[in-house]
Amino acid sequence: MNGIVKISWRNVWRNKRRSLVILMAVALGLWGGIFATGLATGMVTQRFRIAIERQISHMQIHHPKFIDYDEVKYHIPEAAELVSHLSSDDFVMSVSARTMASGMVASSAITAGVQIIGVDAEQERATTRFDEFVVDGDYFTDAGRNPVIVGKRLADKMKIEPGSRLVLTFPDMQGEIVRASFRVAGIYQTTHTQLDELRLYVRRSDLQALVGEGEPVNEIAILLNDVEHLSDVIAQLKNRYPELSIRSYAEISPEVSYMQEMAGITYLVIIIIILLALAFGLLNTMLMTVYERTRELGMLMAVGMNKKRVFLMVMLETTFLTFTGAIVGILLGGGTVWLTARNGVDLSGVGGDTLTDFGYDAVVIPELHTSFFLNLVILVLCTSFLASVYPAFKALKMRPAEAIRKD
Amino acid sequence: MTKVIRTENLTKVYNHTVVPVHALGGVDLEVEKGEFTAIIGPSGSGKTTLLNMIGGLDHPTSGRVFVGDTEMTALKESKLIDFRLRNIGFVFQSYNLIPVLTAKENISFIMLLQKRSKEEMEARAIQLLQEVGLTDKADVRPQKLSGGQQQRVAVARALASRPQFVLADEPTANLDTQSAFNLLDIMQKLNEEEHITLLFSTHDQRVIDRARRVIKLVDGKIASDERR
C-alpha cells in the first residue's frame, strides 16, 4: 500500500505544469465558492439576527383576533400581570408590551397610511435596542407631549424633521376615529427601510390615553436568553394562557426561518456545481495521464500488479491532485472569510438600497460553520472519486500485451 | 532436467472474424530449467506472440501453456496476474521502468507487490544492483540513467521476484554495442551461475551467438530447434 501511495503522489508531479493548472482550477473554484458561501451565510445570519433581535424577537403574544383584524380593541387581557410573570422567568431576557393601531399620518405636505406602535421606552430599548436606530433627534424622553419617532424614508417623503408637527388619525377602542397632534422627537433608520416607511413609534402611555378604556396592550414581544429554550417557554405559556395566540419567530415570519434552513442547502448546491465542473477538468487530466502512461500501466499489469492496485493507484492520484488543490482553496477561502469578517464587506456600493429594502445589512460579516467545511471535505472526496472512476476503468481495460508496445 | 515451460499445439489467430492472421500455427515447445534460449525469426514470424502466450499476457486461440505443473492457460485473470507476479520475470525492449521511482525502488517494487518484508526487499535490491553493476546508481531515477543502465535495472527487476524464468522481448534492440555486450555478459553470468532460465525473442546476432539453444520460427511454426 505504501508503495502505491508513494507512486501515486510522485505521479501527480510528473507533469508539473499540467498538475499545477488543475490544482489552481480546484483552488480558485473553491476559493470563490467558499468566499461566496461565507458572504451569503453572513448575510442570512445577519438577517436572521436582525429579524430576531431588532424586529420580531423570539416570540410574540397577541389576542388571537388581533392577528387577523389588527384593531386596538383586540388586546391582551390582564397584560400587566402577564408581563410581570414573563419578566420573572429565568429564560426571558426582556419583554416589550406594545399598544398598536393602524391609521393615517398627515403633515403639511402629504398623508400616508401607517401602523402606530406605542412602546415603553425602556422595555423597547431592552428588547430591540430601538434607541440605536435613531439617526436624528432623540429617543423618547419624559419631556414634551406626544413625541413620535418616524422612519427616515417616511420623514424624507413627508419632508419632516425633529420638531415638526404631525397629525395621527386612528380608531379608538370603540372604533371611533381619534385625531391627535404629535411632535417629531426623532428620525430612525433600521436595516429594513420598507418597514421604516410604515411604522411610527409613540409612547405607549400616550397612545393608551388616546384609545381609552384602561391600558390596552396588543402585542408582547419576548426576547429569550437562549433560543434553545424557545419551545419550552412557548409550551409553558400555551398551557397557562390557552386563550392567547403565542407564536415563535418561525410562525410569525416563516420566510426568515425558511431562509436560514434553505441557505445551507443552497450554498452546498452551489459548491456541488463548482465541484462538478472541476470534476470534468480532473477527469480530463486523469484520462490524459492514463493514455500517456499506457505502456507503463501495461508493464505494471504484465509484471503482476493486479486490477485492484491499478484502480487504487489512479484513484489515489486523482485524490491527491484534488485534495492538494482543495487544501489550497480552503485555506484561501477560509482565510479570505476570516480577514473580511474583521471589518465586514460593504455592499452598499453594489446593491444600493436594495439590500436594506429587504432587511439586510449593507455591511456583511462573512461567516462559515465547521459543518460547512466537513461537508466540503466529503464533497471533495466524492468529486475525486467521480473524476477517477472512468480513467481508472480505462486503465483496467488495457491489455498488457498491447499496452506495453504502445508508442 | 526439470521442464519449466511446455506448450502444446499453441495457436493464435488475430482478427479471425475479419481477415484471419495466423500468428502461431501449432507450437509445441519445452524449455528446461537453466536454458538460455533465443527465439529468432523474421518480423511477423510470431516471436512476440509466442512470448506473450508463454508470459500469460495474451490468450491462445487454442492449445495449452504449462509453467512447471501449472496449466497457465486455464487460470482465471486474477490468478493469472498473481501467477505472473510470482513466477515470471519480464524484460522489455523499451526498458519500461517506472520513471518516478529510483533504480532501487524499481527493483523493490515487484517485491512490494509480493508483500515481502522491508528488510528482504532492501537486501535483495542491493544484491541485484551489485549483480548488474549499478550499486552506485541505486538512488538515481531512470531518466538519469543510460539506455544500457536502464535495461540492467530492468533485468534486476525481472529477477527480484525470484521467477521460474525470465522472458526478454528484444532486450538489446535499443542498445549500443557496448551496452548490449554488458547486458549479455550479466545475463549469461546469471544463467550460468544461478541457473536462471532465460527465453529471448531477438533479431540480434549478438544474443544469438550467446544462446545455448536457438529456436527459429517461420510463419508461426518452429522451423528449427538447435541446441549448442
Q: Reduce the secondary structure of A160-229 to three states and give it as a string.
A: CCCCCEEEEEEECCCCCEEEEEEEEEEEECCCCHHHHCCEEEEEHHHHHHHHCCCCCCCEEEEEECCHHH
Let me know: does A49 contact A190? Beta carbons within 8 Å.
no
Pair A381, A272 in one domain: yes
Pair A25, A109 in one domain: no
Pair A106, A165 in one domain: yes
- Residue A2: its chain B contacts at CB < 8 A? 112
The verdict on a CB contact (< 8 Å) between A404 and B113 is no
User: Is A160 part of a structural domain of the chain?
Assistant: yes
- Residues A301 and A318: their CA atoms lie apart, in Å, by 20
- Residue B160: its chain A contacts at CB < 8 A? none
CB nearest A401 (choices: B57, B78, B99): B57
User: Is A230 part of a structural domain of the chain?
Assistant: no
The reported pLDDT for the residue numbered A358 is: 66
Q: Band of the pLDDT at A220, cuts 50, 70, 90?
A: very high
CB nearest B100 (choices: A7, A299, A303): A7
The verdict on a CB contact (< 8 Å) between A306 and B78 is yes
Which chain A residue has its CA at the smallest distance from B102's CA? A7
Instruction: List domains and CATH numbers for chain B.
Output: 3-227 (3.40.50.300)
Q: What percent of chain B has pLDDT over 70?
A: 99
Which of A24-38, A77-91, A212-226, A350-364 is predicted most confidently? Answer: A24-38
Q: What percent of chain A has pLDDT over 70?
A: 97
The reported pLDDT for the residue numbered B8 is: 94
The reported pLDDT for the residue numbered B127 is: 93
Q: Band of the pLDDT at A259, cuts 50, 70, 90?
A: confident
Question: How large is the average pLDDT for residues A325-349?
Answer: 91
User: Is A238 part of a structural domain of the chain?
Assistant: no
Query: Which ipTM did the prediction report?
Result: 0.91
In A5-34, the residues whose Cβ lies within 8 Å of chain B are 6-7, 10-11, 14
Count of structural domains within chain A: 2
Pair A295, A159 in one domain: no
The cell for B204 is 540480434
User: Is A274 part of a structural domain of the chain?
Assistant: yes
Q: Band of the pLDDT at B124, cuts 50, 70, 90?
A: very high
- Residue B78: its chain A contacts at CB < 8 A? 306-307
The answer on pLDDT for A43 being more than 90 is: no
The reported pLDDT for the residue numbered B83 is: 95
* B53: nearest Cα among B113, B6, B85, B2: B6
- Residues A192 and A346: their CA atoms lie apart, in Å, by 16
Question: How large is the average pLDDT for residues A52-59?
Answer: 86
Q: Band of the pLDDT at A262, cuts 50, 70, 90?
A: confident
Which amino acid is it at A235?
A
Which has more confidence, A266 or B88?
B88
Pair A214, A278 in one domain: no
Let me know: does A153 contact A144? Beta carbons within 8 Å.
no
CB pairs under 8 A between A and B: 66
Instruction: Tell me which of A21-30, A154-163, A349-358, B165-174 is least confident.
Output: A349-358
Q: What is the pLDDT of residues A72-128, one digit of tens each?
A: 889 898 888 889 988 888 889 999 999 999 999 998 878 889 999 999 989 999 998
Enclosing H/E stretch for B108: helix B103-113
The cell for A171 is 380608531
Please report, for the domain that includes residue A156, its CATH number.
2.40.70
Pair A263, A397 in one domain: yes
Q: Band of the pLDDT at A351, cuts 50, 70, 90?
A: low
Q: Does A57 touch chain B (CB under 8 A)?
A: no
Which has more confidence, A268 or A328?
A328
- Residue A399: its chain B contacts at CB < 8 A? 57-58
Pair A104, A28 in one domain: no
- Residues A128 and A191: their CA atoms lie apart, in Å, by 13
User: Is A239 part of a structural domain of the chain?
Assistant: no
Question: How large is the average pLDDT for residues A147-167?
Answer: 90
Q: How far is CA A167 from the centre of its chain?
A: 38
User: Structural domain of residue A166, as residue ranges?
Assistant: 92-218
Pair A105, A211 in one domain: yes
Q: Does A296 touch chain B (CB under 8 A)?
A: yes
The reported pLDDT for the residue numbered A142 is: 65
Q: Band of the pLDDT at A62, cuts 50, 70, 90?
A: very high
The reported pLDDT for the residue numbered A343 is: 87
- Residue B112: its chain A contacts at CB < 8 A? 2-3
Q: Does A162 touch chain B (CB under 8 A)?
A: no
Q: Band of the pLDDT at A50, cuts 50, 70, 90?
A: confident
Q: What percent of chain A has pLDDT over 90?
A: 50
| Secondary structure in 3-state letters for chain A | CHHHHHHHHHHHCCCHHHHHHHHHHHHHHHHHHHHHHHHHHHHHHHHHHHHHHHHHCCEEEECHHHHHHCCCCCCCCCHHHHHHHHHCCCCEEEEEEEEEEEEEEECCCCEEEEEEEEECHHHHHHHHCHHHHEEEECCCCCCCCCEEEEEHHHHHHHCCCCCCEEEEEEECCCCCEEEEEEEEEEEECCCCHHHHCCEEEEEHHHHHHHHCCCCCCCEEEEEECCHHHHHHHHHHHHHHCCCCEEEEHHHHCHHHHHHHHHHHHHHHHHHHHHHHHHHHHHHHHHHHHHHHCHHHHHHHHHHCCCHHHHHHHHHHHHHHHHHHHHHHHHHHHHHHHHHHHHHCEECHHHHCCHHHHCCCCCEECCCCCHHHHHHHHHHHHHHHHHHHHHHHHHHHHCCHHHHCCCC
Which amino acid is it at B147?
G
Q: Band of the pLDDT at B207, cuts 50, 70, 90?
A: confident
The reported pLDDT for the residue numbered A353 is: 66
CB nearest A302 (choices: B78, B90, B94): B90
User: What are the backbone angles phi and psi of residue A106, rounded to the nearest 5°?
Assistant: -130, 135
The answer on pLDDT for A213 being more than 90 is: no
- Residue A10: its chain B contacts at CB < 8 A? 100-101
- Residues A356 and A366: their CA atoms lie apart, in Å, by 17
The reported pLDDT for the residue numbered A67 is: 86
The cell for B99 is 520513471
The verdict on a CB contact (< 8 Å) between A7 and B98 is yes
Q: What does the mean pLDDT of chain B come to?
A: 91
Question: How large is the average pLDDT for residues B166-177?
Answer: 90
- Residue B85: its chain A contacts at CB < 8 A? 303-306
- Residues B215 and B227: their CA atoms lie apart, in Å, by 9
| Secondary structure in 3-state letters for B111-149 | HHHCCCCHHHHHHHHHHHHHHCCCHHHCCCCHHHCCHHH
Q: Which of residues A166, A200, A218 is at a domain's end?
A: A218
- The Cα-based distances of A376 to A269, A271, A326, A341, B90 in angstroms read 11, 8, 9, 20, 45
The verdict on a CB contact (< 8 Å) between B94 and A295 is yes
The answer on pLDDT for A352 being more than 90 is: no
Q: Does A404 touch chain B (CB under 8 A)?
A: yes
The answer on pLDDT for A1 being more than 70 is: no
Q: Band of the pLDDT at A175, cuts 50, 70, 90?
A: confident
The answer on pLDDT for A264 being more than 80 is: no
- Per DSSP, which regions of chain B are E strands? 3-14, 21-32, 36-40, 62-67, 70-71, 88-91, 165-169, 197-201, 213-218, 221-227
Which of B12, B53, B54, B96 to mutate to probe the A interface, most A CBs <10 Å? B96
Which of A303, A316, A320 to mutate to probe the B interface, most B CBs <10 Å? A303
- Residues B129 and B125: their CA atoms lie apart, in Å, by 6
- Residue A303: its chain B contacts at CB < 8 A? 84-85, 90, 110, 113, 157
Question: How large is the average pLDDT for residues B189-193?
Answer: 87
Q: Any idea what DSSP says for residue B59?
A: -
Pair A100, A177 in one domain: yes
Which chain B residue has its CA at the smallest distance from A400's CA? B57
- Residues A365 and A346: their CA atoms lie apart, in Å, by 9
Let me know: does A39 contact A364? Beta carbons within 8 Å.
yes
Secondary structure of residue B82 in the 3-state scheme: helix
Q: Count other C-beta atoms under 10 Å from residue B10's C-beta.
A: 24
Q: Does A295 touch chain B (CB under 8 A)?
A: yes
- Residues B160 and B152: their CA atoms lie apart, in Å, by 12
Which chain B residue has its CA at the smallest distance from A294's CA? B96
User: Is A35 part of a structural domain of the chain?
Assistant: yes
The answer on pLDDT for A307 being more than 80 is: yes
CB nearest A303 (choices: B52, B90, B108): B90
The verdict on a CB contact (< 8 Å) between A401 and B58 is yes
Pair A156, A213 in one domain: yes
Q: What does the mean pLDDT of chain A come to?
A: 89
Pair A279, A381 in one domain: yes
User: Is A208 part of a structural domain of the chain?
Assistant: yes
Q: Does A399 touch chain B (CB under 8 A)?
A: yes
User: Is A233 part of a structural domain of the chain?
Assistant: no
* A60: nearest Cα among A219, A242, A255: A219
- Residues B132 and B151: their CA atoms lie apart, in Å, by 10
Pair A209, A320 in one domain: no
